[in-house]
Chains A and B, each alone.
Chain A
Amino acid sequence: MTVIQSSGPARELTAESRGEGVHIRGVRKAYGTVEALKGVDLDIAASQFTVLLGPSGSGKTTLLRGIAGIERFDVGSVHFGDKLISRGSHHLPSERRGLSMVFQDYALWPHMTVRQNVAYAIRRQRLGATAAELRVVEALDRVGLSAKSAAYPHELSGGQQQRVALARAIVGDPPLVLFDEPLSNLDADLRERLRVEIATLTRASGATALYITHDQAEAFALADQIGVLNQGRIEQLGTPEQIYQAPATQFVARFTGLGGSFVGKYVGDRGGYGQVRVGEHQLRCVPSSTVARHIDVELLIRPTASRLLPRPEGWPTSASENLEDIEATIVDVAYRGRGYDHVVDCAYGRLVGVFDVQAWPRGTRCLLRIEPDGCLAFPAEDRATRSNSR
């Protein structure tokens, strides 16, 4: 494991002032007839870590590359702080935007050593040779690769290569660092370790960070602020907690992790929660703002919101007494270390990722209880729009 060097108090002091806000207004970008971005507004506060989350084709890569200056937006403006970066035909080239970037494929230059790769990024600062060397050594030290400074990229492992790319991105203390799915080419264990390094090193540098990924777990773990992109638009911008607990749209809810969904009719509010009639049951839920009485709704259930209970003898004793617990059957069980994830079938559909510390054998009949906080009600969409938004 790499030792992450503490950056020291001097760095902390300057850190606050170093980051730069990013302000994006109405950007659009089309490739032929395909609209990749359909009008995006985004504000990123200085020194904040923002993650853009979206499936492939959502436009997140286009947005990031437009901010980097690798692509040009057709319409809309980009400001870094007060400085105009791009608007209309005016387009500041990448090299004059003063940012740095970690690429998905690392983009380490194969003809340069690790040290040369990292040093390349501070050439623009025109430091003296000794000062530059010090910075490079320090950056490599921070990612734990000072011993490899004379190696060439092809002599390193994938994780080490991405660490070099990270060192290159932070060596110049840039006001803005962009991350283009930097972990997607790494295996799970390495991904987790590098994620921690990215989070700590970037925050320590005080830079504003914009990170794109399609992995919701990565987004939640890293972000101060998450923007969920879908089909060229930002559907919701908020803290990880807001996104998870109060998703603005069905798409956001689905993309940030569901155990399953039921269909029902919204019957009203009680005790701070909404009430939804599903078959013979009445479930409590968090209604979205667009839900109204007597409309068909879809209940989107977070994996964390479902619990398994033993089925009492002679169930159902009296159906009127318990409207919340649903009779269910265990279909599959998977050991997850801390406990077990179950796949459960009930009359209204199938739920996955139902956790319990103990294993419920396959075929067991049980009761399923849904916690209202993780049960989100949205107006039912027709099948076509839903499959489209997946």
Chain B
Amino acid sequence: MSTTAAQARRAADGEPETDRQEPLLLVGEAIATPARLTGDVTVRQSIAVTTWRRLRRIKPLTLFWLLIVLILVLPILLFLTVAISPSLLDQGTQAFTLSAFADALTGQLLVGFLNSLIIGIATAVISAAIGFALSWIVLRTDAPGRRIWTGVVFALLLTPSYLIALGWERLLEPNGVLQVIGWDATGLRGIFYGPVGIVVVLTVKGIPFAYLAISNALRGLGHEYEDAVRVHGGGRVAAMKAVITLLAPAMWSALAIVFAESISDFGVASTLANDSHFPVATYTLYNAIQAFPVNFPVASAVSWLLLVLVVLALFAQNRALRGRSFRVLGGRSRPAIRHQLGRRAKVVTTVFLALLLVTALGVPTFGAVAASLIDGLGSLAGTHQLDLSNYQRVISSPQLSQPLMYSAGLAAIAATVTIFLAAVCARLLANSGASVGGRILDLVLLAAVALPGIVFAAGYIFAYNLPVVNSLGIHIYGTTALLLLAYIATALPSTSRVLVGTMSQIQESMAQASRVHGSGAIRSWLSIVLPITARPLLTAWLLTYTATLLELPVSQLLAPPGSEPISVGITSTLGKYDFGGGTAMEVLAILSALVVVAVAYALFRFVAPAGWKNIGGTR
């Protein structure tokens, strides 16, 4: 059909020339028009137009879904299939077998699995207890120093577990900081290198999750429930019991989340646990993939076991919530009253908070900073003087400075792409009640958040190594492109979750009002939606940037030969007993992240129009 014919048809339909002809069709017609010379060509050309018509029907949303399937769903599904059916994916001869599971549940692998289970339970219980105590002290008492804890909690949330573990190790290891100072750390080392230390570090990582879950509930819990107990004759203990009962759903959430996070953890598994020869499931999984020959079926079986534990935990939480969800969040609740602590109580809480702060942030920070300042730590060479020589070495040696530049670049790209995709996801999730697609996406993202990072990385290795993928012309295994893709895929689920709140808060009428008053779709988005969401978008970008910069499991498994992300650089430098250089890299990486955050917020503060800052800001 030629342009004029199309016009004639439209005229016959009584349709005026309007915007419904989208650009793709115009391109199709432009290509087709010169070929109007012979009848033969006209046929071909009408086929061309039909093809364009079909293409035009592929909405951007379909492409988005395709991308979600390709980067989130397919790699994991393929990888999980291989445990059950190795032959389906050319990894063996059997079409259906459970032998990989049998392998995964014997010998060292079984030990690793059981260790993970025990560590997970211990960490969850201790974190929930400390999380509750911390929430109570911060929200319900006038304990000194309570205000800094929101900041501390977010710092802990952002600090990767391997950095915390490494800080402790630098202090306690033979020839470590304590020994250089002249302390004998042997006794402490014996306790810390093993399950106790692992639980301590994982608890430090678990506390923020427990604190956020419990404090949110406690904040919504008005004081009237406690008052009611007291008025009707219950004592202080009875009141506390009532509060704990009302907080039960939040406590269950805390337990489940911390358990799932702990057994999924790879940072401690590959550092402290590995150094103390204490096998855990995530590390046995890593070993199965790093082994030669690679044993994908066993790695997949271990992943299944991890996933089952995660799913059971979330399921238990769900049951607990459904069974007794107390509707205590109401407009009528009065703000709670802070308890005036007595002198003794004040001392006890202060000591508790100080100990917590020292264990969680103080020791790792001190360990890393001190180690980075000691010349030649870990080796017999060097003067063991306090100076900046490690930093000089890192900055001047490309081998040590390259990883940070490489990771910073990748993190910036990954964060930018992720924000864009996450905004679309969040938009779909925000009206997920309406569409089936939204609900499926919800499920996929939820599953992906719960998926251990190491399983994710293993899935990527496996899927993009398959001969099928190569024969499709996709050769990205062992390239930076695949690492980037994996970064985006791992960051997308949590970033989407972060943005859902914002996106569902935007009233639909905001954009509609813009359209009605004369702006097109793109302009409406740029002039209305973008400014309204600017601050949360920036925050989400920074979160994604920081998390990606310091990410370990995906980097460890997918780093292309010849390029090291910073997390791999740090661990491999430390592996070469260059403790000073490794910790200096660590400190520089964290400082660089803080600088990026500071610069970004400063820019927003000084450059963004006044109106943008009104939203989400505190008045």
A binds B: yes
Using CB atoms and an 8 Å cutoff, list the residues of chain A in contact with chain B.
68-70, 84, 87-101, 103-105, 107, 109-113, 116, 120-121, 123-124, 152, 154, 168, 172, 178
- The reply to whether B532 and A95 form a contact with Cβ atoms under 8 Å apart is no
- What's the nearest-Cβ distance from chain A to residue B422, in Å? 21
Most buried by A among B20, B515, B516, B518: B516
Most buried by B among A87, A93, A124, A152: A93
- The reply to whether A109 and B528 form a contact with Cβ atoms under 8 Å apart is yes
Q: Given the complex, which residues of B lie within 8 Å of A105, measured CB to CB?
A: 507, 509
Find residues 553-580 in chain B having any chain A CB closer than 8 Å to their own CB: none
- The reply to whether B519 and A95 form a contact with Cβ atoms under 8 Å apart is yes
Task: Give 10 A-B contacts (CB < 8 Å), ordered by A residue.
Answer: A88-B13, A93-B521, A95-B515, A98-B518, A103-B513, A105-B507, A107-B513, A109-B510, A111-B615, A121-B518
- What's the nearest-Cβ distance from chain A to residue B48, in Å? 22
Stretch at the interface among B27-35, B171-179, B383-391, B606-614: B606-614
Find residues 1-30 in chain B having any chain A CB closer than 8 Å to their own CB: 13-16, 18-20
Most buried by A among B20, B517, B518, B614: B517
B519 to chain A: closest residue by CB: A95
Contact among A94, A104, A168 with B515 in the assembled complex (CB-CB below 8 Å): A94
Whether B144 is near chain A, meaning CB under 8 Å from some CB there, is: no
Q: Known: A84-B14, A105-B509, A107-B512. Contact between A95 and B611, CB under 8 A?
A: no
Q: Known: A89-B20, A110-B532. Contact between A94 and B611, CB under 8 A?
A: no
The 5 closest A-B pairs by CB, nearest first: A124-B518, A111-B611, A107-B509, A94-B515, A107-B513
Q: Given the complex, which residues of B lie within 8 Å of A104, measured CB to CB?
A: 509
Known: A95-B516, A107-B509, A152-B614. 11 other contacts (CB 8 A): A68-B512, A88-B13, A94-B516, A96-B18, A103-B513, A104-B509, A120-B514, A120-B519, A120-B527, A152-B611, A172-B517
Contact among B13, B519, B609, B612 with A123 in the assembled complex (CB-CB below 8 Å): B519
Contact string, B69-97, partner A, CB cutoff 8 A, digits 1/0?
00000000000000000000000000000
Q: Given the complex, which residues of A lie within 8 Å of B615, measured CB to CB?
A: 110-111
Q: Known: A109-B532, A110-B614. Contact between A121 and B20, CB under 8 A?
A: no
A77 to chain B: closest residue by CB: B14
- What's the nearest-Cβ distance from chain B to residue A62, in Å? 14
Q: Given the complex, which residues of A lie within 8 Å of B509, measured CB to CB?
A: 103-105, 107
- The reply to whether B19 and A92 form a contact with Cβ atoms under 8 Å apart is yes
Whether B438 is near chain A, meaning CB under 8 Å from some CB there, is: no
With A and B bound together, what is the CA distance between A90 and B18 in angstroms?
Answer: 8
- The reply to whether B20 and A70 form a contact with Cβ atoms under 8 Å apart is no
Contact among B14, B19, B517, B531 with A124 in the assembled complex (CB-CB below 8 Å): B517
- What's the nearest-Cβ distance from chain B to residue A185, in Å? 12
- The reply to whether B14 and A111 form a contact with Cβ atoms under 8 Å apart is no
With A and B bound together, what is the CA distance between A99 and B512 in angstroms?
Answer: 12
- The reply to whether A84 and B15 form a contact with Cβ atoms under 8 Å apart is yes
Q: How many of B's residues come within 8 Å of A, CB to CB? A: 30
With A and B bound together, what is the CA distance between A121 and B519 in angstroms?
Answer: 9
Q: Known: A94-B512, A107-B509. Contact between A100 and B517, CB under 8 A?
A: yes
- The reply to whether B614 and A107 form a contact with Cβ atoms under 8 Å apart is no
Whether B467 is near chain A, meaning CB under 8 Å from some CB there, is: no
Whether B520 is near chain A, meaning CB under 8 Å from some CB there, is: yes
Q: Given the complex, which residues of A lie within 8 Å of B512, measured CB to CB?
A: 68, 70, 94, 103, 107
- The reply to whether B510 and A87 form a contact with Cβ atoms under 8 Å apart is no
- The reply to whether A87 and B521 form a contact with Cβ atoms under 8 Å apart is no
- What's the nearest-Cβ distance from chain B to residue A25, in Å? 13
- The reply to whether B507 and A107 form a contact with Cβ atoms under 8 Å apart is yes
Q: Given the complex, which residues of A lie within 8 Å of B15, measured CB to CB?
A: 84, 87, 90
Q: Given the complex, which residues of A lie within 8 Å of B528, measured CB to CB?
A: 109
B434 to chain A: closest residue by CB: A31
B612 to chain A: closest residue by CB: A111
With A and B bound together, what is the CA distance between A154 and B611 in angstroms?
Answer: 11
- The reply to whether B521 and A113 form a contact with Cβ atoms under 8 Å apart is no
- What's the nearest-Cβ distance from chain B to residue A210, in Å? 13
Q: Given the complex, which residues of B lie within 8 Å of A111, measured CB to CB?
A: 531-532, 609, 611-612, 614-615
- What's the nearest-Cβ distance from chain A to residue B513, in Å? 4
Q: Given the complex, which residues of A lie within 8 Å of B13, measured CB to CB?
A: 88
Q: Given the complex, which residues of A lie within 8 Å of B612, measured CB to CB?
A: 111
Q: Given the complex, which residues of A lie within 8 Å of B16, measured CB to CB?
A: 84, 90
- What's the nearest-Cβ distance from chain B to residue A349, in Å? 39
With A and B bound together, what is the CA distance between A92 and B518 in angstroms?
Answer: 12
With A and B bound together, what is the CA distance between A68 and B508 in angstroms?
Answer: 14
With A and B bound together, what is the CA distance between A98 and B532 in angstroms?
Answer: 25
Q: Given the complex, which residues of B lie within 8 Å of A84, measured CB to CB?
A: 14-16
- What's the nearest-Cβ distance from chain A to residue B15, in Å? 5
B19 to chain A: closest residue by CB: A93
- The reply to whether B516 and A68 form a contact with Cβ atoms under 8 Å apart is yes
- The reply to whether B614 and A93 form a contact with Cβ atoms under 8 Å apart is no
- The reply to whether A110 and B519 form a contact with Cβ atoms under 8 Å apart is no
Find residues 481-517 in chain B having any chain A CB closer than 8 Å to their own CB: 507, 509-510, 512-517
With A and B bound together, what is the CA distance between A154 and B513 in angstroms?
Answer: 17
With A and B bound together, what is the CA distance between A124 and B519 in angstroms?
Answer: 7
Most buried by A among B15, B18, B513: B513
Q: Known: A90-B18, A107-B509, A120-B514. Contact between A113 and B519, CB under 8 A?
A: no
With A and B bound together, what is the CA distance between A69 and B518 in angstroms?
Answer: 11
- The reply to whether B611 and A112 form a contact with Cβ atoms under 8 Å apart is yes
Contact among B517, B521, B614 with A120 in the assembled complex (CB-CB below 8 Å): B517
Q: Known: A90-B15, A91-B20. Contact between A113 and B516, CB under 8 A?
A: no
Contact among A93, A96, A101, A152 with B513 in the assembled complex (CB-CB below 8 Å): A101
Q: Given the complex, which residues of B lie within 8 Å of A178, measured CB to CB?
A: 516
- The reply to whether B510 and A95 form a contact with Cβ atoms under 8 Å apart is no
Q: Known: A84-B15, A105-B507. Contact between A93 and B611, CB under 8 A?
A: no
A90 to chain B: closest residue by CB: B15
- The reply to whether B611 and A116 form a contact with Cβ atoms under 8 Å apart is yes
Q: Given the complex, which residues of A lie within 8 Å of B527, measured CB to CB?
A: 120
With A and B bound together, what is the CA distance between A350 and B15 in angstroms?
Answer: 57
With A and B bound together, what is the CA distance between A38 and B602 in angstroms?
Answer: 56
- The reply to whether A96 and B19 form a contact with Cβ atoms under 8 Å apart is yes
B10 to chain A: closest residue by CB: A90
Q: Given the complex, which residues of A lie within 8 Å of B614, measured CB to CB?
A: 110-111, 152, 154
With A and B bound together, what is the CA distance between A168 and B19 in angstroms?
Answer: 26
Contact string, B596-619, partner A, CB cutoff 8 A, digits 1/0?
000000000000010110110000
- The reply to whether A95 and B18 form a contact with Cβ atoms under 8 Å apart is no
- What's the nearest-Cβ distance from chain B to residue A57, in Å? 17
Most buried by A among B515, B528, B532: B515
Q: Given the complex, which residues of A lie within 8 Å of B531, measured CB to CB?
A: 109, 111
- What's the nearest-Cβ distance from chain B to residue A23, in Å? 14
Q: Given the complex, which residues of B lie within 8 Å of A95, measured CB to CB?
A: 515-520, 524
- What's the nearest-Cβ distance from chain A to residue B13, in Å? 8
Contact among A69, A92, A112, A152 with B516 in the assembled complex (CB-CB below 8 Å): A69
- What's the nearest-Cβ distance from chain A to residue B402, in Å? 41
- What's the nearest-Cβ distance from chain B to residue A90, in Å? 5
